Amino acid sequence: MPPKRALTGIQPSGVPHVGNLKGMIEPAIQLQDSTEPFYFIASFHALTTTHDAELVRKNQREAALTWLAFGLDPARAALFRQEDVPEVTELAWILGCFVNMGVLDRAHAVKAARDAGREINLGTLAYPVLMAADILLYDSDLVPVGKDQKQHVEMARDMALSMNHHVGREIFRVPEPLIREEVATVPGLDGRKMSKSYGNTVELFAPPKALRKRIMQIVTDSKGLDEPKDPSTCNVFALYKLFASADEQAALAARYVEPGFGYGHAKQALFEVMDRAMEAPRARYELLAAKPDEVEDILIDGARRARAVARSTLGRVREAIGLHSLG
C-alpha cells in the first residue's frame, strides 16, 4: 500500500523566526519520513496582501532556502511554487462555481481581514476556494494545519464531498486535517506569541552577534541576582526548552533557584544552545543562497512532479462536469 500523501502550503511571508520553525517547519518536514509529501510556496495566496513584485520574488526565495536548510529532501518530497502548477487556478474556478457566497463570507480569511481593517478583495474572499484546490488537486490524504486553519480543510472536505455527490462518483479524494495539538505557543521577546506583527521575533538565520543581541532583549521580571527564580514562568527558559536536551533543561532549571544566577546567565545559555542548533542550517542556507540555479532546479523538478498529479486530477474533473479532456 503506497504511503499517504500529505500537502503543506508554505506562506512566503519574509524572514522566518523561531515560531515558524517550531510551529510549522519542523513538524511538516518530519512528514517526509512517513508520507509522500508535497510542499508548495503559496505565492497566489500571498498576492491577497502583497503587491510588490520584488518582495514577492524575495519572499519566495527565502521560503525555499529556509525549508531546504532545515532538512526538506527534494529526493523524497516535491517542493514547488504554486504558480508553476497553473492547473490549480483552473480547479479553483471550477470549485468556485459550486460554492455558496455565504460560506465564503464566514471563512476565517475574510474575518481576519475584516478584523484587521484590511481591504477584502476577490482574492481574500476566494482564499478558501484556492486552498481547497491546492488540497484536492494532489489527491491529498493529510493536511497538517494549526487549529486556526482547520476550518479551511473542512471547507475543502465539504467541496470534495459535494462535487463527488453531484457527479455521482468519487472524483476527489476527501482529505483529513492533521492537527498539531502538541505544538505549544512560542513566546516572543515580550512574552506574547512570537509574531512579525508584534515585532517580537527571533530570526532563524541571524549571525551569532545579532542573535545574541536579540536574545538579550527578552523581557523578564525584576528579581535580583540572588533571588530564586521560577523557570516555568520564564520566557527565556520557554525558548531554551525548544533547543536544549532534557539533561540541559534539568541542569539550567536547577540553577534558577541558586543564588548568583541572573537572567543574563539564562539568556547566555539560550544563545549558546540556539546558536549551536542553527549552525548547520545557517551554513546550509548560505551555501544554497550562493547557488540560486540549484535551488531553481529543485523548484522546477518539484513542479514537474506536482503537475503530473495535477493533470490527472483535473482530467477526471473536466470529464465529470462536461469539459473537454486535457488530452
> 207-223: per-residue pLDDT in tens?
999 999 999 999 999 99
HSE-CB for 49 with a 13 A CA cutoff: 17
pLDDT at residue 183 tops 70: no
Q: Are 256 and 237 in contact (CB under 8 A)?
A: yes
Q: Averaged over 134-159, what is the pLDDT? A: 90
pLDDT at residue 61 tops 90: yes
User: pLDDT at position 113, please?
Assistant: 81
Q: Are 276 and 211 in contact (CB under 8 A)?
A: no
pLDDT at residue 152 tops 90: no
Q: How confident is the model at residue 182 (pLDDT cuts 50, 70, 90)?
A: low
Model confidence pLDDT, tens digit, residues 93-112: 999 999 988 888 888 778 88
Amino acid identity of 215? Answer: I
More confident call, 24 vs 109:
24
Location of C-alpha cell 506574547 = 192
User: What is the rounded distance in angstroms from the CA atom of residue 161 to the CA atom of residue 166?
Assistant: 9
User: What is the rounded distance in angstroms from the CA atom of residue 274 to the CA atom of residue 9?
Assistant: 26
Instruction: Read off the C-alpha cell for 136.
Output: 484536492
Model confidence pLDDT, tens digit, residues 307-326: 999 999 999 999 999 999 87
Instruction: Read off the C-alpha cell for 214.
Output: 536579540
Sheet containing 36-41, strands listed edge to edge, beginning at the edge strand earlier in sequence: 78-81, 36-41, 5-10, 142-145, 176-179
**Percent above pLDDT 90 for the chain:** 81
User: pLDDT at position 101, please?
Assistant: 87
Q: Averaged over 227-241, what is the pLDDT? A: 96
Q: Averaged over 179-189, what is the pLDDT? A: 75
- Work out whether the CA dihedral 190, 243, 70, 144 comes out positive or negative: negative
User: What is the rounded distance in angstroms from the CA atom of residue 108 to the CA atom of residue 280?
Assistant: 37
Q: How confident is the model at residue 45 (pLDDT cuts 50, 70, 90)?
A: very high
pLDDT at residue 55 tops 60: yes
User: What is the rounded distance in angstroms from the CA atom of residue 267 to the CA atom of residue 223?
Assistant: 15
pLDDT at residue 274 tops 70: yes
CB atoms within 10 A of CB 133: 28
User: pLDDT at position 117, please?
Assistant: 85
pLDDT at residue 147 tops 80: no
Asked if the 5-185+292-321 domain carries CATH number 3.40.50.620, the reply is yes
Q: How confident is the model at residue 234 (pLDDT cuts 50, 70, 90)?
A: very high
User: What is the rounded distance in angstroms from the CA atom of residue 262 to the CA atom of residue 21?
Assistant: 28
pLDDT at residue 3 tops 60: yes
Q: What is the mean pLDDT of the chain?
A: 93
User: pLDDT at position 118, please?
Assistant: 84
What residue spans define the domains of the chain? Answer: 5-185+292-321, 205-286
Amino acid identity of 253? Answer: A
Q: Are 83 and 45 in contact (CB under 8 A)?
A: no
Instruction: Tell me the three-class secondary structure of 7-28, residue by residue.
Output: EEEECCCCCCEHHHHHHHHHHH
Residue 26, burial from CB neighbour count under 10 angstroms (0-12, 13-18, 19+): middle
User: What is the rounded distance in angstroms from the CA atom of residue 236 to the CA atom of residue 240?
Assistant: 6
User: pLDDT at position 2, please?
Assistant: 75
Q: Which fold, 205-286?
A: Tyrosyl-Transfer RNA Synthetase (1.10.240)
